[in-house]
Copies of this chain bind each other. A is one copy, B any other.
Amino acid sequence: MRRTPARRPTIKDIARRAGVSESAVSFALNGRPGVSEATRTRVRRVAEQLGWQPSAAARALSGEGAATVGLVLARPARTLGGESFFLRLVSGVQEVLSAHGLGLLFQVVEDIGAECAVHRRWWAEHRVDGVLVVDPRAADPRPALLDELGLPAVIIGAPDDAGRPLPDHGAISTLWADDTGAMASVVGHLHALGHRRITHIAGLPELAHTRRRMAGLRAEAERRGLPEVRSVTTDYSDTEGAEATRRVLAAPRPPTALVYDNDVMAVAGLAVAAERGVPVPGGLSIVAWDDSVLCRSTHPALTALARDTAAFGRHAAEELVALLAGGPARRVEDVTPQLVVRDSTAPPGS
């Protein structure tokens, strides 16, 4: 037989025990004026004794908001394979949210259309007070949707909606990493080593940061007078990363250095090099975007663009908290990822 669970105490219980009205309890516990200090402390003590916690549902219903923020990840299951960036991001997000008593409602969906539907539903059901948006892309439908719904949001990863400024009457902040600067540092490092043929194995072409990295690469190559530098796009999976590597290395004048847009593809690329008998870094230099334990675990260890992903998540959460408190929308740039040089880059033909 299933035991009936313990009943949760309500402010009514507190009111009875403390000998005051329910409203007095509410005032006392929320730091509102209208009760004496003596009563306030007495009520607080009783509440603590009873182990009272406010009912999130009741709070939300009486107009306080849901004390919850949403985060939906739109990725086909296939590309979730070796993904570790996201969990680190979320762990940073959580640190800040839980410090503010906010819950995180999380959902994984297949595509961006489904993501929009989730936002709509969350909004209609009063489930969230705001959302975090990841993987911004060119012609992204989400900023306009969230603006229409009046749902505060922080867009993680892009300075704007594909060049167009965001509608500034909405409560939408943006936070992004300096991909351009980071890419310049990568090209600088490789060029200094003597590389002139560099290929960038990029991620999904529709994502905003992919475009920024590709543009950054082109600009920096032009500045340095390197004509044989280009990008090819993939879906971030190990499979396409490996395939692209094979294709690129089989070309007539293959590149001497490869820059991968994530760690999973970089590791896959390293395996392709091994399989073809190309020594790394002697015959091919490899750089991974987004450092992770993987880059340190391979042999040779991979030169990588490192950033503190958890801190990135914390920043994003802080922006959202500020927005929820009624603060203005902001556009902030995070620190530039730093190139960590390890053993996978060296002068070509060394």
User: What is A's interface to B at a CB cutoff of 8 Å?
Assistant: 1-6, 8, 51-58, 60-61, 66, 68, 77, 80-84, 86-88, 90-91, 94, 98, 103-109, 121, 123-127, 147-151, 169-171, 237-239, 242, 264, 267-268, 270-271, 274-275, 292-294, 296-299, 301, 310
Contact = CB atoms under 8 A, between A and B. Distances in A.
A178 to B, nearest CB: 24
Contact of A125 (B54, B109, B148): B54
6 contacts: A52-B124, A56-B126, A58-B126, A68-B105, A80-B88, A82-B82
B149 A310 contact: no
Number of copies: 2
A8 B169 contact: no
Contact of A127 (B5, B82, B103): B103
A319 to B, nearest CB: 16
Contacts of A149: 5-6
A298 B273 CA distance: 10
- The interface centre, meaning the residue of A5, A104, A170 with most chain B CB atoms within 10 A of its CB, is A5
A72 to B, nearest CB: 10
Contact of A53 (B3, B83, B124): B124
- The interface centre, meaning the residue of A90, A106, A293, A301 with most chain B CB atoms within 10 A of its CB, is A293
Nearest to A123: B8
A327 B298 CA distance: 48
Contacts of A1: 169
Contact of A3 (B84, B123, B169, B301): B169
B294 A125 contact: no
Given A82-B84, A297-B268, A124 B51 contact: yes
Contacts of A84: 80-84, 87
- The interface centre, meaning the residue of A5, A56, A125 with most chain B CB atoms within 10 A of its CB, is A56
Given A61-B58, A68-B105, A84-B83, A124 B8 contact: yes
Contacts of A58: 57, 61, 126
Contact of A82 (B77, B237, B293): B293
A249 to B, nearest CB: 14
A150 to B, nearest CB: 2
A249 B9 CA distance: 59
Nearest to A263: B82
A238 B90 CA distance: 21
Contact of A87 (B61, B87, B301): B87
The 5 closest A-B pairs by CB, nearest first: A5-B150, A53-B124, A57-B60, A274-B299, A81-B293
Contact of A91 (B3, B51, B108): B108
Nearest to A274: B299
A60 B68 CA distance: 15
